[in-house]
Amino acid sequence: MPRFPPSLNSSLDLKSILQHLQILWYLFLMHLCLELCRIGLSKKAFEAFHIKDVWNWPWQLWNENWNLNIVHYIFQNLSLFVQVLNRRCVEAAVMTGLALNCRINKKSLFDRKHYFYADLPAGYQITQQRLPIAVNGSLVYSFCAGKNRSQVINKTARVKQIQLEQDSGKSLHDDLRSQTLIDLNRAGVGLLEVVLEPDMSCGEEAATAVRELQLILQALGTSQANMAEGQLRVDANISVHHPGEPLGVRTEVKNLNSARFLAKAIDYEIQRQINELENGGEILNETRSFDSKLGCTIPMRDKEGKQDYRFMPEPNLPPLLLYDTESLPAGADPQQVIDIDRIREQLPELPSVTREKLVQQYGMLPEHSFTLLNEVGLLEFFQNVMKETRAEPKKVTSWVLNTLLGFLKQQNLAVSESPVTPSALAELLNLLDRKAISSSAAKQVFEELWRNEGKTPAQIVSEKKLELMQDQEALEQLCHAVMEGHPQVVMDVKKGNPRAINKLIGLVRKATLSRADPTVIKEILEKKLAS
């Protein structure tokens, strides 16, 4: 299917020639550090081996309380320290590869990528340039389209490879003092790099793919994938080309830290390149950054080529060997080998399967299933409410997605910060389900719950006298009185004005302080009007 970019305000013929655009490829960079620290393992991808045995430290430099698993950045760059691969990083890479339908290489190699920069004290980065740990996978992502966003479109981006790397440090630029500081805390942290093939054509597609990848990583537990905290970074490589011709010269937009900025950067860069070609210019193979305040990309430096990095085999790390059930050596120590099939058996339910189950189990619209998964913690909240309420799933979905989520967004709160608990919302919906309160009264109760005064829905209903009128005879008398007091409205209804009855319903509800069910009021009025 042809891919079309955002429309451009140009009347030149070159616009039609360049209408088929293609994003060259994406690098999705995933930090593993925070998740690995939480499970009690070292956060370094390659650890120094037996520090105390390697060096005869002077007594004043040695402290028995040092954590030998977290190596100081200086230690990592001394030649006497032999690197040892972090097992958890390998397991996370294999699990991610399997979730992305990759072929896991039973043998992969490590390489040194040389470049000199202040945030890389060693002068090289350990990576997998020749033979990565996983190849030839696919990332399936979906987004809602159409007038009411009710049409689900499925797309697939091919995964070229997944490779293990070391992360570098972070440069902190102080413009006021005209100096740059270097934060080396993350230097050596395990980095998983996912390279996608050129299968996306606009910013929205790329942002949707990244969100899906976030959900997959969070489901796997390999990373929290919080872009704002640097656990997931995206480098977008973009090019435009004439239909039928090879891909054009690409530019790379580095370190995009939100899906929204990713979409904006890509769409801007597509337009910038087209405008440059229309004006007779040329596209430079360069690295650019995205200025979120200005909404544009700006040049950083020329793009390096493979020859600039002087790749060479990593001399301190032997080939990484993985096994499956058939190739696993007899009597092998499970702590010394990694079994691909065992990791495959431990894969959790992936987001696409969860969404499908939500649609089938609860009969919800596909777009609602997307929202439940895209908001962190919202699916768990919904499921907890469903466990404790007798209300229909459709009503629960509406309250969670419209009322609860609306209040959360209005006050910029996360689901975990909601003052209304799943139990409280379930109790409120139970009151509504057994017609103890009206819909408008339920909203009043929710607002009271949001103020977090420690009261239950039942207590709020009792204190504010929000119970529905159960006295049918009294309600009929009120309806009769309202009809007698507004003969013109009654006449309008009898003349065929269907909206006039709503005014009568409103008047009755006002007389009951909104304690009467509108449906019951309407039934009584219709019966009296027909007599």
The pLDDT profile of the chain, 531 residues, written as one tens digit per residue, is 333 333 333 333 333 333 333 443 334 333 222 222 222 234 566 654 433 333 333 333 334 444 444 445 455 555 445 677 888 889 999 999 999 999 999 999 999 998 877 777 788 888 998 999 999 999 999 877 766 666 778 899 999 999 998 888 888 878 888 888 888 777 777 788 898 988 888 888 889 999 999 999 999 988 888 888 878 888 898 888 877 778 888 899 988 888 899 999 999 999 999 899 889 999 999 999 999 999 999 998 877 666 678 899 998 889 999 999 899 888 888 888 999 999 999 999 999 999 999 999 999 998 899 999 989 899 999 999 999 999 999 999 999 999 999 999 999 999 999 999 999 999 999 999 988 888 888 999 999 999 977 889 999 998 888 888 777 788 888 888 888 888 888 888 887 887 888 888 888 888 877 777 788 888 888 887 877
Query: What's the total number of domains in the chain?
Result: 3
Amino acid at 295: G
Q: Is residue 315 part of a domain?
A: yes
| CB contact at 8 A, 398 and 365 | no
Identify the domain boundary among 415, 432, 463: 463
Are both 306 and 403 inside the same structural domain? no
Are both 306 and 419 inside the same structural domain? no
Q: How far apart are CA 309 and CA 301, in angstroms?
A: 15
Residue 396 burial by CB count (10 A; 0-12/13-18/19+): exposed, middle or buried?
buried
Are both 412 and 497 inside the same structural domain? no
Reported for 145-154, long-range contacts at CB under 8 A and 24+ positions apart, including other chains, are: 149/367, 150/365, 150/366, 150/367, 152/366, 152/367
Are both 264 and 289 inside the same structural domain? yes
Say what the pLDDT of residue 305 is: 64
Identify the domain boundary among 446, 463, 480: 463
Say what the pLDDT of residue 120 is: 79
Distinct helix (H) and strand (E) counts, the chain: 21, 18
Are both 73 and 188 inside the same structural domain? yes
Q: Is residue 301 part of a domain?
A: yes
SS3 5: coil
Are both 130 and 268 inside the same structural domain? yes
Q: Is residue 306 part of a domain?
A: yes
User: What six digits make up the tokens of 287?
Assistant: 């690295």
Say what the pLDDT of residue 407 is: 96
DSSP state letters, 253-307: EEEE-SHHHHHHHHHHHHHHHHHHHHTT-----EEEEEETTTTEEEEEEEPP-HH
Are both 386 and 459 inside the same structural domain? yes
Say what the pLDDT of residue 182 is: 83
CA-wise closest residue to 46 among 169, 162, 187: 187
Q: How far apart are CA 399 and CA 406, in angstroms?
A: 9
User: What six digits make up the tokens of 281?
Assistant: 């210019």
Q: Is residue 408 part of a domain?
A: yes
User: What six digits make up the tokens of 122?
Assistant: 């060693």
Q: How far apart are CA 39 and CA 52, in angstroms?
A: 25
| CB contact at 8 A, 3 and 211 | no
Q: Is residue 304 part of a domain?
A: yes
| Backbone φ, ψ for residue 339 (5° rounding) | -100, 115
Q: Is residue 165 part of a domain?
A: yes
User: What six digits make up the tokens of 488?
Assistant: 């013109």
| CB contact at 8 A, 17 and 283 | no
DSSP state letters, 101-127: TPEEPSEE--EEEE---TT-TTSEEEE
- Cα pseudo-dihedral 237, 243, 244, 248, rounded to 10: -30
Q: Is residue 338 part of a domain?
A: no
Say what the pLDDT of residue 268 is: 94
Are both 186 and 317 inside the same structural domain? yes
Q: Is residue 129 part of a domain?
A: yes
Q: How many residues in total does the chain contain?
A: 531
Q: How far apart are CA 213 and CA 232, in angstroms?
A: 10
Say what the pLDDT of residue 295 is: 93
Are both 289 and 389 inside the same structural domain? no
CA-wise closest residue to 167 among 267, 106, 100, 86: 86
Instruction: Name the residue with tokens 């894969």.
Output: 347
Are both 26 and 158 inside the same structural domain? yes
Strand 83-85 vs strand 296-302: parallel, antiparallel, or unpaired? unpaired
Say what the pLDDT of residue 174 is: 82
Q: Maximum CA pair distance of the chain?
A: 104
Strand 190-196 vs strand 21-31: parallel, antiparallel, or unpaired? antiparallel
| CB contact at 8 A, 256 and 235 | yes
Identify the domain boundary among 437, 463, 489: 463
- Cα pseudo-dihedral 92, 94, 100, 104, rounded to 10: 160
Are both 457 and 478 inside the same structural domain? no
Supply the CATH number for residue 511's domain: 1.10.10.410
SS3 32: coil
Q: Is the dihedral of CA 70, 75, 77, 82 positive or negative?
A: negative
User: What six digits make up the tokens of 90?
Assistant: 């390998």
Strand 312-313 vs strand 107-108: parallel, antiparallel, or unpaired? unpaired
Are both 113 and 259 inside the same structural domain? yes
Each residue of 105-117: pLDDT tens digit? Answer: 999 999 999 887 7
Q: How far apart are CA 482 and CA 490, in angstroms?
A: 10
Instruction: Name the residue with tokens 């065929």.
Output: 496
pTM of the model: 0.78
The domain in which residue 42 lies consists of 6-321
